[in-house]
Amino acid sequence: MVKKVSLKDIAQRVGVSTALVSYVLSGNEEKGRVGKATAEKIRQAAEALNYQPNHIAKSLKTGKTNTIGLIVADISNPFFASIARGVEDEASRFGLTTIIGSSDESAEKLKKLVDVFVKRQVDGFIISPAEHSEETVSYILSLGIPICLIDRHFNSVKSSYVVTDNLESMRNAVTHLVQQGYKHIAYISYESNLRHMRDREAGFKEASREIKSEIFKIHYAKQHIELGDTIGEILAQDRVDAIVFATNTLSVAGLKYLRQHNVRIPKDMNVSCFDSSEVYDFFEHPITHVRQPIDQLAKASVNTVVELIKNPGQQVENRVLHSELVSGGQDADRAVPNR
């Protein structure tokens, strides 16, 4: 183990106090009103000794760790992996290191992660909250730790957040189907009270008002069974002409089911999906889907947290970003013009 050089070593070498060294090396030369010649000598000594400041000591003194905690549902889910990448990149621009945790959509696990991160004294949180985790978010707020929710937020908790306009996104997606002439649309979502889920459902309802529609809800934990059953039922009834999937996991799993049962898209059944996925490229006709601005969500959340760290008394900041509807193919038999 290489011996660490400290401020004291430099101070001794140059023959000044550690205070001076600290001022110079932390860029507060003006504040310490250090002499130019001295400052130069200090810098040279630091260079010569290959001085590496000790973050821990600094943190202990300043109370800042230059760390932010990111908590998502599951880092191995492509959507959150992309979010994580965006957060990591943006945070590093501010000299912030990101620590990551996966809640598996469990409020309890989320709370535990928050406890761990609070103990580690993260300077701020970016969280995609699980259902029923309002209390945990309030708790963070009560500690005065900056937090920005991402992807989802709560009505009852006044925290900063950055989300996609889920209602609008879903309304656009469904309107697109309606305008293509689809008459009976099924909506498949999770059993969830999370705001973003409710917004998507509201968007669906708004856009499907003039046609027939059915809504199906699946339990997150039991989706492997329930999704197949649900789609099977929809197909058996033979009334529905388009299915809307409310999330990326449902979209991919739903498409998989349809493909395995030789349902042709959009000929036998059209679909509209949420989020991007590489599986879409494996269909003959493009798959209509909502593309969320993942990178912007990530960057905006980091920026919000950075602002909150700088100005602790800051107003709550909310950003609602727009998504893009990537328009796919339509059933050629259905000669309704695309808008």
Partner DNA sequence: CTGAAAGCGCTTACAG
Q: Measured between alpha carbons, how far is residue 123 from residues 103, 137, 148, 314 in Å? A: 20, 15, 12, 15
- Interface residue with DNA among 57, 225, 320, 336 (CB under 7 A) is 57
Binding segment toward a copy of itself, per CB under 8 A, in 114-122, 150-158, 194-202, 214-222:
114-122
**85 near a copy of itself, judged by CB under 8 A:** yes
223 binds, among DNA, a copy of itself, none (CB under 5 to 8 A by kind): none
- Tell me which stretch binds a copy of itself (CB under 8 A): 23-31, 212-220, 251-259, 323-331: 251-259
**Which residue, 52 or 92, has its beta carbon nearer to DNA?**
52
Asked if residue 260 binds a copy of itself (CB under 8 A), the reply is: yes
Angstrom distance (rounded) from CA 114 to CA 337: 51
- Alpha-carbon Rg of the chain, whole angstroms? 26
Phi, psi of 47 (to 5 degrees): -60, -50
Is there binding between residue 281 and a copy of itself (CB under 8 A)? yes
Q: Which of 5, 21, 29, 101 binds a copy of itself (CB under 8 A)?
A: 101
Q: Which two tokens stand for residue 222?
A: 């039991």
Per-residue binding string, DNA, 21-40, x by CB under 7 A, is -xx-xx-x---xxxxxxxx-
Measured CA to CA in angstroms, residue 213 lies from 124, 209, 210, 320, 330 at distances of: 43, 8, 9, 27, 19
DSSP letter at 98 equals E
Of 211, 209, 213, 199, residue with least CA distance to 170: 199
Q: Which does 82 bind (CB under 5 to 8 A by kind): a copy of itself, DNA, none?
A: a copy of itself
Identify the residue among 2, 37, 236, 335 touching a copy of itself (CB under 8 A): 2
Contact 242, 269 (CB under 8 A): yes
Phi-psi region of 144 (alpha: psi -120 to 50; beta: other; left: phi over 0): left
d(CA 154, CA 128): 11
Q: Contacts with DNA in 62-81 (CB under 7 A)?
A: 62
Q: Decide if residue 57 touches a copy of itself (CB under 8 A).
A: yes
Residue whose pair of structure tokens reads 């920026």 in the numeric block: 303
Tell me how far apart the alpha carbons of residues 47 and 107 are, in angstroms, rounded to a whole number.
48
Is 273 near a copy of itself (CB under 8 A)? no
Q: What residues make contact with DNA under the rule CB under 7 A? A: 4, 6-8, 15-20, 22-23, 25-26, 28, 32-39, 51-54, 57-58, 60-62
In the complex, which residues of this chain contact a copy of itself (CB under 8 A)? 1-2, 52-57, 59-60, 65, 67, 74-78, 81-82, 84-85, 88-89, 92, 97-102, 116-121, 142-144, 252, 255-256, 259-260, 277-279, 281-283
